[in-house]
A = this chain, B = another copy of it.
Amino acid sequence: MKLTVLRLGHRVGRDIRITTHVGLVARALGADEIVLSGQYDKGIINTLTDVAERWGGPFRVHYERNWLSFLKRKKEEGCEVIHLTVYGLPIGDAVRALRRSKRDKVVVVGSERVPSILYGLADWNVAVGSQPHSEVGALAVFLDRFFKGGELSKEFHGWMLKVVPQKRGKRVMKITETASCRGSGK
């Protein structure tokens, strides 16, 4: 089962930090990839790709100009589309049903104005609480519940940086590239 996060409606400048946080949450909490939409923002793609390269993967970062075509294509391929929205049904029931399904999933997080067509297109409109919320927070809770917390002990492969948990202070392991063999003959 593959889980993709689709971020709608990015605006260069205004949304840079929120979209980055959506991407970091997606990776840290077990999604396989993030698909960015809205305005094309090379900076965010680079930031998230760079995190995956240094801290490990696999985690892929894509951009799709036409999110609606992307979602329709995914549905045709058999994916379930889950739209996180404050107006949807409570997360508890939805997650229980979703965890039983082995189909690939696309979790959609919007920005302030989500086109109404999405509510009809989504297989699930899921509310992480019915209060004004943060799409970053809602995505985090959804993924944590969907993966039952197991995502937090996931191993990231090919890391160059890794945190070693500490009661106090900071400890980071770092792999630095060794010089390649130059055939010195010694």
Residues of A that sit less than 8 Å from B by CB: 17-18, 21-22, 24-25, 27-29, 51, 55, 86-92, 116, 119-120, 122, 125, 127-134, 136-141, 144-145, 149, 151-153, 156, 162-172
Question: Across the interface, which residues of B come within 8 angstroms of A116, CB to CB?
Answer: 169
User: At the interface, is chain A mostly helix, strand, loop or mixed?
Assistant: mixed
Question: Across the interface, which residues of B come within 8 angstroms of A153, CB to CB?
Answer: 90
> Do A132 and B18 touch across chains, with their CB atoms under 8 A apart?
no
A-B pairs, top 8 by smallest CB distance, nearest first, are A137-B140, A21-B134, A25-B137, A130-B163, A28-B131, A136-B136, A87-B170, A129-B152
The answer to whether A29 and B129 touch (CB under 8 A), given A136-B137, A141-B144, is: yes
Question: Across the interface, which residues of B come within 8 angstroms of A29, CB to CB?
Answer: 129, 137, 141
> Do B28 and A137 touch across chains, with their CB atoms under 8 A apart?
yes
Cβ of A30 to closest chain B Cβ, rounded Å? 9
CB-nearest residue of chain B to A87: B170
The answer to whether A25 and B170 touch (CB under 8 A), given A87-B163, A144-B145, is: no
The answer to whether A130 and B165 touch (CB under 8 A), given A137-B137, A140-B137, is: yes
Some 24 contacts from A to B, beta carbons below 8 A apart, are: A28-B129, A28-B132, A29-B129, A86-B163, A87-B163, A87-B165, A87-B166, A88-B165, A89-B167, A92-B152, A119-B169, A119-B170, A125-B166, A125-B167, A127-B165, A128-B152, A130-B162, A130-B163, A130-B164, A130-B165, A136-B136, A137-B137, A144-B144, A145-B149
Question: Across the interface, which residues of B come within 8 angstroms of A163, CB to CB?
Answer: 86-87, 127, 130-131
Q: Among the listed B18, B128, B131, B169, which residue makes an inter-chain contact with A156, where contact means beta carbons less than 8 Å apart? A: B131
